[in-house]
Amino acid sequence: MLLQDKVAFVTAAGSGIGAAGAQAMAREGARVVVTDRDGAAAERVAQAIREAGGRAEAMALDVADDAALTAAIDATADRQGALDILHSHAGIQIEGRLEQVAVADMDASWRLNVRAHFLAAQAAVPHMRRQGGGSVIVTSSNSGVQYDREMIAYATTKHAVLAMTRQMAADYGRENIRFNALCPGFIDTPFNRGFEVQMGGRETLEAYIATTIPMGRFGTVEEIADAIVYLASPRSSFMTGHALVVDGGECI
């Protein structure tokens, strides 16, 4: 197994990409800490992992709570005796152009899409340093390598977190702590609600997918989970500071 006995901590893992990634890492032998603001959702994912023969525990966690986020990562490393993988996935999608986005919504975007990743990584580094390395995966988006019409808060923060991930990679490469950004395109989950609103409804979004994306379809959470396992595992051992775009060719 690629991740046998590795300890993985995942935020926003109660559904969608976060849940699929947690389950995929568990199938590869990792001990996974599944966290989500919805503690019941986190427990359902952890229970599914256990029922499939994997190892997982659940934790209710709001990544906007600085102290709780840091404490959860520290407690996991202390309890498990290691922290090998951090997948900092939580985020928010707010639609609108400059004149349509409230300052409070821009602040919320920054807090979830950039600041929470900063704090999670900051908490993880000392534990990874002590054990000689680790893999930090930060979820950006293909919106971090292109620009979306009328999505200023989302695109701005996704570009910012990509720059931050690359900076951390440059700073910690010699300590064997790898930082890579996961950049999914359109994956068919409820997270796309902001894009649906911005585009004028589900039918318009589906038409965009069919006509604009070279592969002509949504991606699946399983396809993104495969990318997560790759970034977490030794198969990407010489990769750091990379933006792994998985979007069916949309950003070409």
Catalytic residues: 154
Judged by DSSP in three states, 176 sits in coil
Instruction: Give the chain's length.
Output: 252
Handedness of CA 57, 60, 64, 67 (dihedral sign): negative
**How far from chain centre, in Å, is Cα 57?**
18
Nearest to residue 185, comparing CAs of 137, 148, 149? 148
CA distance 29 to 21: 13
Judged by DSSP in three states, 34 sits in strand
Hunting for tokens 């590869």 — which residue is that?
Answer: 28
CA distance 112 to 226: 24
Hunting for tokens 């309890």 — which residue is that?
Answer: 79
93: left (phi over 0), alpha (psi -120 to 50) or beta: beta
